[in-house]
Structure 1
Amino acid sequence: MEHITLLIGIVIVTALVFDFTNGFHDTANAMATTISTGALRPKVAVAMSAVLNLVGAFLSVEVAKTISGGIIDESAGIRPEVIFAGLVGAIVWNLLTWLAGLPSSSSHALFGGLIGATLVSVGTHGVHGEAVVMKVLIPAVAAPIVAGVAATLATRLTYRLARGRDEADTARGYRAGQIASAALVSLAHGTNDAQKTMGVITLALVTGGVVAPHSDPPLWVVVSAGLAIALGTYLGGWRIIQTLGKGLTDIRPAQGFAAQTGAATVILASSHIGFALSTTQVCSGSIMGAGLGRKGGVVRWSTAGRMVIAWCLTLPAAGLVAGGAALLAEQGDWGVAAVAVLGITVSGAIWLASRRKPVTGDDAAPSSAVAEEPAGVVTQALQAVAPPPATPAAPSVTTPEPAVAPAVAATS
């Protein structure tokens, strides 16, 4: 720690800021369907997700290695200011898509920022093209499709297994299953996305000569990255939760359970083999698949189309911003300071724009009609088993009406 320069310190702080934005940007991945169906209250959901993101950060470092030594060539002359520029590009794109309520990929924003800044600074030899294709681009295309197909099949199987069973019991069971599967997605998110920031900080430490090349992230890096993403998760990205939970399709408990279970399986498997995929794309694909899996379910393809456009733009857009930031940062200390000021100014302007039409947890929660649906189902089921008791016969002696009326009038 004593060898960390001021510039590397700035890069570390900026990386943790990105990790924080990743947390509230991607909370929707785990909790959108759980909140939209009323399985958990919004604040309880994001608190649970935050804790499990923190736990997940300690389970693996394979994705961190992919970032720190797989995509970017550590020996190509990458300097800390280049990493700083890449992070600024990723943060700006994250905030823009959050303002628009679009569940784009924080991971691809980070990749695009690092690749764009590296290409401007050292050229194509600073980027491992094969690793980008194999561990970023192919998973970006395949993962949401695989997750969507899995969720479609799981949803159809779920409804088939529940056919003929008591609707109230199955609804309660699937809501419990949603909570468990949402916890699994949160844990998986920590194992994948928190590690990306660990990898960036480790890359900065390698370029500054603080740690040896190909080193695992130090423990303090793991702890700080886990805490940053957990804090961001706890604040809740309500805009994107609203889009995924309500804007993409109408999710019922059985669908939410199937979507989250499929997404968690894909994310955990990818983390194990070091694929730095987009959890946002995986969960979005699962939700669309669950919408198609229910008979009569509808996917709002206009919203899905906007999401896909954002996915396609994320890598190049973040790369362009980061490339411009890298050109400025390489001018010296004043250039780094200018990039920092511009980044803070743009981020502040986006936040002020979001205050004009704020979105809260109440907006992401189910409407009263949806929230009360389980109680109605339970009531109907109980009435089917045991009809309501008959109204008791009037007693033979009653209080005279004229004596009651004045008392009622007085209390009213």
Structure 2
Amino acid sequence: MRIQTKLSRKSQKESKPLSIIIYTVVAILFVVVVWLNIVVTKAGKSSLLENDNLKPPPKPEKLEDRKGGAIIEDASLNDGEPTIKTPNGSVLPSAKALLSRPPPYGDSQVRFFSDTMIDSPNTVVTAYHRVPSKFHAGKYDEWMKNILSLQDAMVIFTSDDMVDQVKNMRQHALDRTVIVTLELNDLPYGTLYPTKFWEDQLKRDPEKRIHRSYQLFWIWLSKSWFVNEAIRLNVFQSDLFMYSDIGCFRMKRYNSKTMIQHREVVPPNEMLQMAHHKPNPPKEDLFNDKYRHFENFYHSGSQSVAYKDTWIKFHEYFLDTIDRFLEKDMILVEDQAILQSVCLSHPEICVYIPFTEVRDNHYFGLRYLVHYGGKFNFWSFNAGSPLIMLDLANAVEQFGHVQSVYSSIDFPESI
């Protein structure tokens, strides 16, 4: 027993240096792994074109703030306009009231800069108002130069103090530029609901520290309204309209080019949307919980393109979806959630291009389709059907409407 004890103690003494070596090696490996992770992350960020939003949304401060909206007693209700009732008893104007309200601008606010305006089959619609938001004004000034350098016919909604700046950036295309001056407080959703309503929306916004102002929601929610106003004016006699956030063009890849060169990729009766992640529809058709269920969130909303009749119908569905959100006490702070809910509720009007199909940004890649054309695998939500492959150009040519056809991706050799 004594011999065994001595041997045991001796082996323990010999094992101590070995343990120290093992711990040292493990520590070094840990440091190396952490360092490699940092390097790979930075490399990944630099390799993604203009993409600021690929990660899941930041952890919200208080998810409980999303429920239990304030009682709104000072909503201005116009005689004869439809109303809705929220779960807490507030009576609010229906968003569909906007369909019958006159535009909040006059003829003098529709600004032309050339005696002769061209006709164009396509119109690009965008908007910009300076409000506290995710990025500072200097960033938007940089990005505006890129999108406004396009050769496409364009309708731009902005405030009066921005007219000269926008006009200067469109000097090359004044015969295909219309600026509609509209002050921030005149945006349709800002006047539809009272200030107390919007203060409550911002209070319940899980990302209020990033979004910073409820006026930002007015701009986001007005996207389909902007396009419908451009359709109503239809200065360029277009039948195809593409909405693009003014901050989508963060690099100079498309500068001075005509963006819409392949309108044949746009289906005749559906709106073409961008899926920034693999489409994985939630069970419900009203969805605004990307914080708990990020895996079900895929609608970009930064760009959309469709023919004018589809835009008009989509806008009506969008207004109805806003009403349904409020009737269920769901917040309106994410236009992407409402847009995705429109497509879930009315799948026949939407078709998506998954981000894997374009050699472009995950969120802003719709411009790739209309610029380069080709054959793409599209996705459409169809009562649980996982994937519908569409070769839109050939289907429209052969059948007069979209058929479910498999097609391989046809990328240009050089971009």
More strand by share: 2
User: Which band: TM-score by shorter chain?
Assistant: under 0.3
Q: Please report the TM-score for the alignment, with normalisation by the length of structure 2.
A: 0.26
More helix by share: 1
Q: Please report the TM-score for the alignment, with normalisation by the length of structure 1.
A: 0.26
